[in-house]
Homo-oligomer: A and B are copies of this chain.
């Protein structure tokens, strides 16, 4: 059975991998995401490679194996179901669910997770709109595009936010930017570095940084 440290590394490698959209995850990135020194990450990655969870390309980076991806999806399932539970049942604010879920996900049994899944009514997404993998390890996410790639004038629906930072989430909530809300994209300028949207119902408008808008995924209906 993997230790919780191993579980954490694998989960991070998975998210960095899909985040980067390119092959391998370099050590610097991994060590920063894990909050450890690069040397520590190298040591750990060698070990992960020994137990076949990743393939390690020295001086380039790591890539999950099928076995590693399996574990990553199991962890993501745990994490997101726990986040949903914390928000829907215990009344956490969506900005604070991440930290507690991060600790709980390594302590729960499969039985716990399956019972929790049933209790919650088999939700498909967590409070941030992240899709929840099934118990068999399949995951399907809606077709979305980053907000900063949409053309102004279009109507968009917020589907997912790729960020766990509480401050950012609180801020987005103030702007009504959370999954399910509809907006009109008013302006999007890489040069000015801003994206402005107007909330469909309330007519309130919000401006966010261009980079951050890339982490807001929307659907164009």
Contacts and interface: CB of A to CB of B under 8 A. Distances in A.
Interface of A: 86, 89-92, 96, 99-100, 103-104, 106-109, 111-112, 115-116, 119
A92 B109 CA distance: 12
Contacts of A106: 107
A94 to B, nearest CB: 14
Contacts of A108: 100, 103-104
Nearest to A92: B115
A209 to B, nearest CB: 30
25 contacts: A86-B112, A89-B119, A90-B112, A90-B115, A90-B116, A90-B119, A91-B115, A91-B119, A92-B111, A92-B115, A96-B111, A99-B109, A100-B108, A100-B109, A100-B111, A100-B112, A103-B107, A103-B108, A103-B109, A104-B104, A104-B107, A104-B108, A104-B112, A106-B107, A107-B107
A89 B119 CA distance: 8
Contacts of A111: 92, 96, 100
Given A92-B111, A103-B108, A104-B108, 15 more contacts: A90-B112, A90-B115, A90-B119, A91-B115, A91-B119, A92-B115, A96-B111, A99-B109, A100-B111, A100-B112, A103-B107, A103-B109, A104-B104, A104-B112, A106-B107
